[in-house]
Amino acid sequence: MDTHILLGHGSGGRSSHNLINDLFIKYFNNPVLMQQTDSALLNISSSNIAFTTDSYVVDPIIFPGGNIGKLAVAGTVNDLAVSGAIPRYLSASFIIEEGFSIKELETIVSSMAEEAKTAGILIVTGDTKVVNKGKCDKLFINTSGIGILDEKHKSISTGDNIKPGDKIIVNGTIADHGMAIMAARNFGNFKTEIKSDCTCLNHLIKEILDANSSVSFMRDATRGGIATVLCEIAENKGLGIEIDESKVPVNENVRGICELLGFDPFYVANEGKILVIVPDEDADRVVSIMQQNVFGKHSAVIGEVVNNHHGKIVLKTLIGGKRIMDMLAGEQLPRIC
């Protein structure tokens, strides 16, 4: 077997065929994929389907706590799960730069298979393209996913049921993924043990929903961090939101590096964090359900929906002051002093 990806691996000929059999089919192995039909033939007995897609271009492709493959599975699974759907099937398309190490590709594909297995979903169709050296950065992955949606959960992703008094819950420490990536890029020249929180959260979410909790809204707080998700809800729904900074869990080492580099953890990316908005009377129960799951141990109520300053988020700061929390403009840039 070749050690590096050649243009021929994407030609559709013998090398493509071998790569698919020796790698993708070997790891993603399941009855739907094994049919090797042009389209995956699925048997879904539901009139409500959730469907989503996302592309993954993270640099570096392997980072503490995960890699681009794990991220590509978890990201799409989470997008389905936060909509209230049960994730079932994924597609996976690979755009690979000529010369990429097949061993590294195998590491990534195997971790995708592992994450899919943990999440209980099947990768049923896919595609491989190889581009000339320099035309992409090592490896890009696109995944699309289908999930089954129960009628009663349809309003979870729209947020139509959010009302003043609802409590806002996060399932653990924020900003881990973004700072792990910064460290892996050697940004600021520091060494740290921060790991990305990249993981599938569909089981955690199922536990919340199975307990008959009346969830008003759920969303994963990826790019732009929890601040961006909160701003979107506040602006789109004309809701007032109050967040208590002292209640938001942040790992000490993440806080330290954010302080040092001038980053605000509220805007830093997560890949295993969701915001759950529930009626006041359900909040304590939902938090305790979440805390029993390994990915929700540090769940906490961080704020609430209020009936004033509509469309805006007011942050109660650590020292007891108040200020507006707004969307981030452009990239977060390091401050000069």
3-state secondary structure of 184: helix
- We find the least distance from the C-beta atom of residue 229 to another protein, in angstroms, to be 17
Strand partners, 144: 53, 91
Q: Rule CB under 8 A: is residue 294 a binding residue for another protein?
A: no
Other Cβ atoms closer than 10 A to 324: 10
- We find the least distance from the C-beta atom of residue 179 to another protein, in angstroms, to be 14
Residues 170-201 as b or e (16 or more Cβ within 10 Å = b)? bbbbbbbbbbbbbbbeeeeeeebebbbbbbbb
Among the listed ranges 38-46, 199-207, 286-294, 321-329, the one in contact with another protein (CB under 8 A) is 321-329
User: Looking at beta carbons only, is 13 or 262 nearer to another protein?
Assistant: 262
Among the listed ranges 115-123, 170-178, 207-215, 322-330, the one in contact with another protein (CB under 8 A) is 322-330
Q: Rule CB under 8 A: is residue 326 a binding residue for another protein?
A: yes
Ramachandran angles phi, psi of 268, nearest 5° = -85, 145
Task: Tell me which of 189, 193, 210, 212 binds another protein, using CB under 8 A.
Answer: 189
Ramachandran angles phi, psi of 55, nearest 5° = -115, 145
- We find the least distance from the C-beta atom of residue 322 to another protein, in angstroms, to be 4
Cα–Cα nearest to 43, from 115, 131, 145, 148: 148
- We find the least distance from the C-beta atom of residue 223 to another protein, in angstroms, to be 16
User: Looking at beta carbons only, is 240 or 296 nearer to another protein?
Assistant: 240
User: Looking at beta carbons only, is 2 or 264 nearer to another protein?
Assistant: 264
Show the tokens assigned to 75. Answer: 């990201």
Q: Rule CB under 8 A: is residue 214 a binding residue for another protein?
A: no
Among the listed ranges 218-226, 270-278, 281-289, 314-322, the one in contact with another protein (CB under 8 A) is 314-322
Distances (CA, A) of 41 to 32, 120, 136: 7, 18, 31
Q: Rule CB under 8 A: is residue 336 a binding residue for another protein?
A: yes
Cα–Cα distance between 228 and 232 in angstroms, integer?
6
Cα–Cα distance between 17 and 289 in angstroms, integer?
46
Q: Rule CB under 8 A: is residue 318 a binding residue for another protein?
A: yes
- We find the least distance from the C-beta atom of residue 264 to another protein, in angstroms, to be 8
Chain residues 240-279 in contact with another protein, contact rule CB under 8 A:
246, 252, 255-256, 259, 261-262, 264
- We find the least distance from the C-beta atom of residue 334 to another protein, in angstroms, to be 4
Q: Rule CB under 8 A: is residue 321 a binding residue for another protein?
A: yes
Query: Is 68:141 a contact under the CB 8 Å cutoff?
Result: yes
Tokens 């653990």, located at residue? 172
Query: Is 272:295 a contact under the CB 8 Å cutoff?
Result: yes
> Pairing state of beta strands 274-278 and 167-170?
antiparallel
- We find the least distance from the C-beta atom of residue 320 to another protein, in angstroms, to be 5
- Cis peptide bond prior to 60, omega within 30° of 0: yes
Q: Rule CB under 8 A: is residue 335 a binding residue for another protein?
A: yes
Q: Rule CB under 8 A: is residue 14 a binding residue for another protein?
A: no
Q: Rule CB under 8 A: is residue 334 a binding residue for another protein?
A: yes
- We find the least distance from the C-beta atom of residue 246 to another protein, in angstroms, to be 8
User: Looking at beta carbons only, is 137 or 160 nearer to another protein?
Assistant: 137
Show the tokens assigned to 127. Answer: 């595609």
Binding region for another protein (CB under 8 A): 188-189, 246, 252, 255-256, 259, 261-262, 264, 315-326, 329-330, 333-337
